[in-house]
Amino acid sequence: MASRNAGSEATYFVEYSGDSMTKEDPSNCPFCGIFERGEPVSMVWEDDQVAVFVVLKPVNLGNVVVVPKRHLPYFADLDDELATHIMLVAKRVAASIRECGLQCEGINLF
């Protein structure tokens, strides 16, 4: 799996504006804004299919989002291979959060 840790390169965060987004029209999709329009984020992990980055208003320390790099607004849109890959990336990131010394009581996926 090709990957890179861009955390040292990026200094910005992403915030969802709340504007409506459809499956057919990704123009208001905050994630497509990152991958297709090059909007900056603080990237934690990235490969050719999946990205993990810090959110602007984290619920807890270590709050990151794990998303596909294609416009797939609904979880059910993921094919089995991509869904599996996303979960494996989330598992690795969860392990890294545990190992980095960040004080977190647990890891939640939602």
In the complex, which residues of this chain contact Zn ion (CB under 5 A)?
26, 29, 31-32, 71
Smallest separation, CB 24 to Zn ion (Å): 11
Nearer to Zn ion, 31 or 45 (CB): 31
By beta-carbon proximity to Zn ion, the closer residue of 9 and 25 is 25
Distance in Å, CB of 17 to Zn ion, minimum: 13
Say if residues 41 and 55 touch (Cβ distance below 8 Å).
Answer: no
At residue 33's C-alpha, the angle toward residues 87 and 10, to 5°, is 75
In whole angstroms, the minimum distance from the beta carbon of 38 to Zn ion comes to 14
CB of 105 to Zn ion, least distance (A): 31
User: For residues 66 and 90, what is the distance between their CA atoms, to the nearest angstrom?
Assistant: 7
Which residues does residue 68 pair with via DSSP β-bridges, in sequence order?
50
- The residue (of 86 and 94) whose beta carbon lies closer to Zn ion is 86
Q: Given the complex with Zn ion, which of 29 and 51 has the nearer CB atom?
A: 29
d(CA 91, CA 37): 28
Q: Which amino acid is at 30?
A: P
